[in-house]
Structure 1
Amino acid sequence: MTTVQTTVPPPTAAVRPKTVARAGLYGVLALNVVVVTVFFIQAGFASNALIVLGRLAGLYGALLMAFQLLLVARLPWFDRRIGMDRLTSWHRWVGFGLLFTLLGHAVFITFGYAQSSSMDPVNQLVDLGQTVEGVFRAIVALGLILVIGGVSARFARRRLAYETWHFIHLYTYVAVVLAFTHQVAAGTTFTASSAATTYWYVLWGVALGAVLLGRVVLPLWRNTRHQLRVSAVVPESDTVVSVHITGRDLDRLPARAGQFFLWRFLTKDRWWQANPFSLSAAPDGRSLRLTAKTAGDGTAALRHLKVGTRVFAEGPYGAFTAMHRTRPEAVLIAGGVGVTPIRALLEEVHGHAVVIYRVGSDRDAVLYEELRELAHAKGAELHLVSGPVSPDKLAPAELARLVPDIGDRDVFLCGPPPMMNAVLGSLRELGVPKPQIHFERFSLAG
């Protein structure tokens, strides 16, 4: 049976949580840019303008590298407010900024010293690597970052398996350590004053500590505390299966409808593989449920999980929750298996809701009976929209017909990327304000 939560809805916040979190991140970065610039000026300038530019580029590169670590630390406070897909996107663009900044550092420094010594740039770089402590480590770090930047480009990323890309990306941490030791050994600004030295140690300590906390300590602590296990495996269709999970003290797990976990099922052949799946039912403090569509060997193996299998879950992650509501009424739009977080959200949202479920054919509508029962219990409207992709059945005119007051509602959207892009275009044409549109692309899955 579907249960309906009856908690009193929280008041709509005057300031959006996402705005607060973004302002916090931007503010932290801007403040550190100012601090780094001040320390750089206090350290004095070299006589060669190229060396000055190279040192400044190197300092900003070190700052961006630390900021990169913060973006991927998976800290719950930021993740719940911004969303891992957006943090991942920012990480990507900051990464390219870091790449060009460090390249600029290497080029300016090499040509600057070559100008002073009358050596050619190649021999000057070799000489620096052989005679200046920490420079060779910096060259290795830059090489690693170039490789990582190359495999992160879209044309390369599409051709790599997620596990391969992720393994290569782990070398970022090696590059971070090498770059830091280079800064300690050769950075004049680092050693210019005790205040500058303390600042850089604190900066790197906070960045690396955030990664350790968010990606190691917190997952280990939560899984030790909750002891998750598979309690049931329920086929929903020929290609879709639901996995029910129980554990200890689940009422203390800070999960919300719309969020996802990285699930590792600790079997002999799958313990090493983590898959991101959304909760397909709102957490009730007693159990969790995920629903997945077969898309490869990993998801196909879910059907064969045995009751009692231990589960290691990282999360909850994601900002696709009712926490970001701005209006008293909502529209929930799902496409295909994207219905899983939408079905969970329907349990939690308050006020009148309209649910639109887009599928290729009626037989593809997994969890539809649950949706219908839940919609009836909550007084929500439910529209099953089926048929081929063309013509677009969620075009602006169709959406306006299904939900005439859509501009006055929050819109939660989840589905395949082409469908989501089309619906986002329709919402723009209908003039739905951007703060009322909530979606997450779950880009962590690669």
Structure 2
Amino acid sequence: MTGKAQAAGVAARPVRTAAWSWWADVIASAGAFSLLIVVALWVRGGGVQGLRGWAAGLTSVGRLTGLVAADLLLIQVLLMARVPWIEGTYGQDTLARWHRVVGFVSFDLLLAHIVLITVGYAATDGVSVTGEAWSLVTTYPGVLLAVAGAAALAMVVLTSLRAARRRLRYEAWHLLHLYAYLGVGLALPHQLWTGADFTSSRAATLYWWTAYAACAGAVVAFRLGLPAWRTLRHRLTVASVVPEAPGVHSIYMRGRHLDRLPVRAGQFFQWRFLSGPGWSRGHPYSLSAVPREDMLRITVRSRGEGSEKVSELRQGTRVLIEGPYGRLTAARRTAPRVTMIASGIGITPLRTLLESLPYAPGEATLLFRARSAEDLVFRQELERLTAVRGLRVEYLLGPRGRAGSWLPAGFADDAKALRELVPDIAQHDVFVCGPDEWMQSVVRAARQAGVPAEHIHLERFTW
């Protein structure tokens, strides 16, 4: 539908789209099926028969924990390989949470594998546990490499604990996290040389080689190849840097064939600007305007070293891109009426959605939270949408009224205030973007106001 038709008050009613597509069931089923295959291969390899006797039983269970740990480790890698149909189905925030949980479970099973195998072998050979451990490391092919791989994975796990993450800069944490790939690679020789369950049958060999090849291929293709290809194809460069509000700048970028870039309003990229030291650090910024054939725009608040450097970019600076990512798009819409709730720079993806979504006058509401009027980003653009599209905007200005609230002073109850601001909020799709704790407060108020969980849409960028 054209902008003129929308301005005239004729809205294209959205087709109801299941936020949880059938792809989600396929992907989750594939992961569960891979674990069933691993268990079946263990059974076929004599795993159940090996449970007779406590020493042999420890060894057999140790084999199973090692196999499941290896499979989960590959699933963990695949979750963050940026495979488009996986990332597009779940979103990076959900995948990151699953990646974290699967990683801890996999590592716990890996530790159990090491302990059970060592104790089981020691009991079978009639030697001490320490003596058996030394024998395994020094005489079994690939075990020493596997120990080094386990140490790399242990470092990744320890630095992923919340207490450790609070003390680390994101860049340092991300660099250490890459050692997980090293851990996977170092474990492979041990599995192939001494892992009977990997080579006991053609089916086992085929499965494990296929699984490793698929994960490695996904990482190479989607973490490295696709971003490199899109960067070379579109050749983005900085066109200008424009101040929007105190500490907030918009970066306009020109490129080639941007109409062929598969990006939708509300999505984000990982951006790397070739402007000097630190260029390798990726920054996740959402598009702040509907993509044009020759122009993209992001808007950044200066909060740290990386974002401050972005505001100092010079015209002509080359840009590397990775993406697009994110599910905060029109595809998640399920109802004719929408409410957008933004805080600060969180307005960027929502402003883009408000420009691109179909709605009639009065069917879209924006609740924009900021500390003061001068902190309102895109105010003129929002007022233009109000005049042309019939957007309803409520500015919620001032410091937070109380701890745990998403509102400024003057509102006693968050859910009641939301119902007063948008009386029929329970029949709306609600899109939320802002700081993580603030979004949690918004979601809590929306649920108390009667909004179904499946009608609340947000993405978290915390690491």
Q: TM-score range by the shorter chain?
A: over 0.9
Preserved contact between residue 329 and residue 350 of structure 1 (Cα < 8 Å)? no
TM-score by length of 2: 0.92
Matches within 5 A, 1:7-156: 11-13=14-16, 15-16=18-19, 18-45=20-47, 46=50, 48-156=56-164
Name which of 419, 424, 427 aligns with 1:400. Answer: 419
Deviations 1:40-67 (A, max 9, x none): 1111133510001100001101100110
Retained in 2: the 8 A contact 1:4–1:347?
A: no
> What is the CA RMSD across the aligned residues, in angstroms?
1.7
Which has the larger displacement, 29-38 or 216-225?
29-38
Question: Relative to structure 2, which stretch is displaced further, 336-345 or 3-12?
Answer: 3-12
Match of 1:190 in 2: 198
Contact 2:13 2:336 in 1 (8 A): no
> 8 Å contact 1:266–1:309 — kept in the other structure?
yes
Do the aligned partners of residues 5 and 141 (structure 1) sit closer, same or farther apart at CA in structure 2, a change above 3 Å counting?
farther
8 Å CA contact 2:73, 2:184 repeated in 1: yes
Which residue in the other structure is 2:433 paired with? 414
Matched, 1:357 2:396: no
Give the drift of 1:11: 4.6
% identical aligned pairs: 40
Gap runs ≥5 in structure 2: none
Say which SS state the counterpart of residue 262 (structure 1) adopts: strand
Once the two structures are superposed, what CA deviation does each residue of 1:214-265 show, in whole Å capped at 9, x if it has no partner? 1000000101110001111101123000000110000000111111111111
> Offset of 1:148 from its aligned partner?
0.8
Counterpart amino acid of residue 437 in structure 1: I
Out of 172, 175, 200, the residue aligned to residue 167 of structure 1 is 175
Following the alignment from structure 1 to structure 2, what is the Cα–Cα distance between the partners of residues 230 and 14?
36
Which string of whole-angstrom CA distances, capped at 9 and with x for unpartnered residues, describes residues 77-99 of structure 1?
22222111111111011110111
- Cα distance change of structure 1 residues 4 and 99 upon mapping to structure 2, 3 Å threshold: farther
For the pair 1:372 / 2:391, whether they are aligned, the reply is no
In the aligned structure 2, how far is the partner of 1:6 from the partner of 1:182? 65
Cα distance 1:11–1:364, how it changes in 2: closer, same or farther (>3 A)? Answer: closer
C-alpha spacing 1:438/1:28, structure 2 compared with 1 (3 Å): same
Describe the superposition over 1:166-204 as per-residue Cα deviations: whole angstroms up to 9, x where unpaired: 111111111111112211111111111112101110111
**Distance in structure 1 (CA, Å) of the matches to 2:3 and 2:441:** 31
Aligned partner letter, 2:365: V
Work out the CA distance in 2 between the residues paired with 1:305 and 1:15.
Answer: 41
* 1:245-299: CA deviation from partner (whole Å, max 9, x where unpaired): 1100000001111111111111123422221111111112221100000112221
Local SS of the residue matching 2:245: coil
Contact 1:361 1:387 in 2 (8 A): yes
Deviation at 1:379, TM superposition (A): 1.1
CA distance in structure 1 between the partners assigned to 2:78 and 2:336 by the alignment = 34
Size of the alignment, in residue pairs? 441
CA distance in 1: counterparts of 2:26 and 2:327, whole angstroms: 16
Q: Tell me the CA shift for residue 19 of structure 1.
A: 3.9
List gaps (5 residues or longer) in structure 1. none
